[in-house]
Amino acid sequence: MNVARAELRKLLTLPSLRLTALLTWAATLLLAYAYAYADRDAPLDDAALAPLGYTQAGFLVLGVLAAASEYEEGGQIHTTLLAMPRRLPLHVVKALTLGAVTLPVAAVTAATSTLPAGGATWTPAATAYLTLTTLLAAAVAGVVRRAVPAAILLLGLYFIAGPLLRARPGGIAAYLPDTAALDPPRGAAATVAWTAAVLALAALTFHRRDA
């Protein structure tokens, strides 16, 4: 319990996380407005979820910053491990606290995007998707251990490789982690599986590697 409280405190006091959450929410609001405006002349079929397709980037950044902050200058990870040397429980607690911190941010962001477009039924699914995306990003950053390269990798995959692969008929695009953003029922399994797999990989590397 102490570990959870300590991890929670670290996450809540990171200024970069607060700023990211705020910017993400503001961007969602702006895009929801843009879609509502565009909706007036030409009805869009996915206006409820489309803004989230962009602002999920904020959640990717949130996960990256949360995980990479331990490895920045000062090497906070050494202090963390001194206080809590059992790495696997620490990793689990880290993932759980990040999920708990992200959940309200994700819920507000999801509601901002879905409610104006009349897609209130999507809100819980979108909240879960954004939270899982954050955990996935944190796991990737935990393996890469550097914020900028991890961000390049994730943003490149989500915003450049993903759309390119989806533009091709058939293929592997249905199995990408961000499929749920466009096709929730089918993509949910892909998102959960990817997040679990990358978290397991991060746990393994965290357990094995020198800090």
Q: Contact residues for another protein (CB under 8 A)? A: 31, 34-35, 37-38, 54, 57-58, 61, 64-65, 71-75, 77-78, 147-149, 151-152, 155-156, 159-160, 163-164, 167-169
Minimum CB distance to another protein, residue 152 (Å): 6
Q: How far is CA 56 from CA 20, 35, 145, 175, in A?
A: 11, 16, 21, 18
Residue 7, amino acid: E
DSSP state of 170: S
> d(Cα 108, Cα 115) in Å, to the nearest integer?
10
Of the two residues 54 and 100, which places its CB atom closer to another protein in the complex?
A: 54
Q: Phi and psi dihedrals of 89, rounded to 5?
A: -55, -40
Of the two residues 169 and 185, which places its CB atom closer to another protein in the complex?
A: 169
Of the two residues 96 and 166, which places its CB atom closer to another protein in the complex?
A: 166
Minimum CB distance to another protein, residue 38 (Å): 4
**DSSP-derived secondary structure for 133-162:** HHHHHHHHHHHH--HHHHHHHHHHIIIIIH
> d(Cα 17, Cα 2) in Å, to the nearest integer?
22
Minimum CB distance to another protein, residue 46 (Å): 11
Of the two residues 96 and 183, which places its CB atom closer to another protein in the complex?
A: 183
Minimum CB distance to another protein, residue 48 (Å): 15
> d(Cα 173, Cα 124) in Å, to the nearest integer?
24
Nearest Cα neighbor of 136 from 62, 27, 207 is 62
Of the two residues 35 and 129, which places its CB atom closer to another protein in the complex?
A: 35
Minimum CB distance to another protein, residue 110 (Å): 18
Of the two residues 160 and 189, which places its CB atom closer to another protein in the complex?
A: 160
Minimum CB distance to another protein, residue 102 (Å): 17
> d(Cα 89, Cα 20) in Å, to the nearest integer?
27
